[in-house]
Structure 1
């Protein structure tokens, strides 16, 4: 195996171990030494690739919301398409451990909170620019409003597990949430 292949395999093993430990122990309970121990390498190797715990955490939760895969629908269906995509991203075929880890960690860890802010600010705003065809300032405003709904739903459904939201089927959530998202994406947000 070539050096770069070993390096890629080591990086992958480190990230896998980090995700597992972060999910089990959280940010505070996960150490560079524990990650290295799971992989069977010296802690200095983890530091070599990721510098410090914050760098490792950022790499372990490098999250793509996959919004580039959402084809722009008819303008009146954007809210519905967006909520379906997010539900798929959280619990469907696009779900992964990184998204749940980030959500759970963001409430107690400033590094995770900053990471979720960066992800939602850039990726949601880019989506809004693409589907709503608005300028950057308006896209940022709309993205912020959308994020309140999407992150709020995720927090209530997957972290707090508040009924009846946790038991609602996807179709009911889509029906109830799509009009709100539609308004934030395409509604008149001017102050009257």
Structure 2
């Protein structure tokens, strides 16, 4: 007896998916605000409105829960499609808007945790190697790509650290357009190969 042909049946989502999503959102927020060491399963459970045993049932221990929060796609824009002189500002604008969207608190969480946690540091370096470096390589010579990407990383990570993690008041007070213009100009100089 053969398999029936016809339109593909969509697989319904797990009944537990909303709870799983709520736990992951709470974990990202908690890891982002307090870091890996200070985050507890109980605190994440409280934030998600579930019992700690539910968190452990779905995600195991704290290490596994943390690992589940680290899947990050930067969704970088196609910089090569932009006029060369607009790329620095476009990159800064992209990162700034992504960090400050309420549903994308994964980057601050990763950055905060990477300072003290080897797994988070490894994920951050992997994101650099697999997402940032290829995007920059497409814009410059292979000889300059690594140095250019690293210098851009100092600006982007420094901005993220001071604005989204440390919440340094003078940086928070800067309007986004000022940050995009000024930091974007520095990033642009790295892309152009200019000395600052």
Normalised to the residue count of structure 1, the TM-score between the two structures is 0.75
Change (3 A) 1:143 1:153: same
Give 1:95 deviation, angstroms: 5.9
Separation in 2 of the partners of 1:75 and 1:182?
A: 9
d(CA) in 1 for partners of 2:55, 2:186: 50
Which residue is 1:170 aligned to? 176
Q: Is the 8 A contact 2:27 2:44 kept in 1?
A: yes
Q: In the alignment, does 2:59 pair up with 1:43?
A: no
1:144 aligns with 2:157: no
Q: Name stretches of at least 5 consecutive residues in structure 1 with no aligned partner.
A: none
> Residue 141 of structure 2 corresponds to which residue in structure 1?
134
- SS of the aligned residue for 2:172 comes to helix
Larger radius of gyration: 2
* Residue 90 of structure 2, aligned match among 75, 81, 89: 81
Q: Aligned in 2, Cα 1:144/1:94: closer, same or farther, shift over 3 Å?
A: farther
C-alpha contact (below 8 Å) 1:121/1:144 kept by paired residues: no
Does 82-91 or 102-111 show the bigger shift? 102-111
Please provide the CA RMSD for this pair: 3.0
Q: Does 1:90 find its partner at 2:99?
A: yes
User: How many residues were matched structurally?
Assistant: 181
CA distance in 1, matches of 2:26, 2:50: 7
Q: Distance in 1 between matches of 2:127 and 2:24?
A: 19
Q: Which one of 66, 69, 80 corresponds to residue 60 of structure 1?
A: 69
SS at match of 2:159: helix
User: Are residues 163 and 36 of structure 1, via their aligned partners in 2, closer, same or farther at CA, if it must alter by over 3 Å?
Assistant: closer
Q: 2:115 aligns with which of 92, 101, 107?
A: 107
1:119 aligns with 2:132: no
1:121 is paired with a residue whose SS is: helix
Q: Distance in 1 between matches of 2:108 and 2:159?
A: 13
- The equivalent of 2:27 in structure 1 is 18
Write the distance in 2 (CA, Å) between the matches of 1:122 and 1:24: 26
1:95-150: per-residue Cα shift (whole Å, max 9, x none)?
A: 622122122222232322222222233211121123x1533x53222111110011
TM (norm. structure 2) is: 0.74
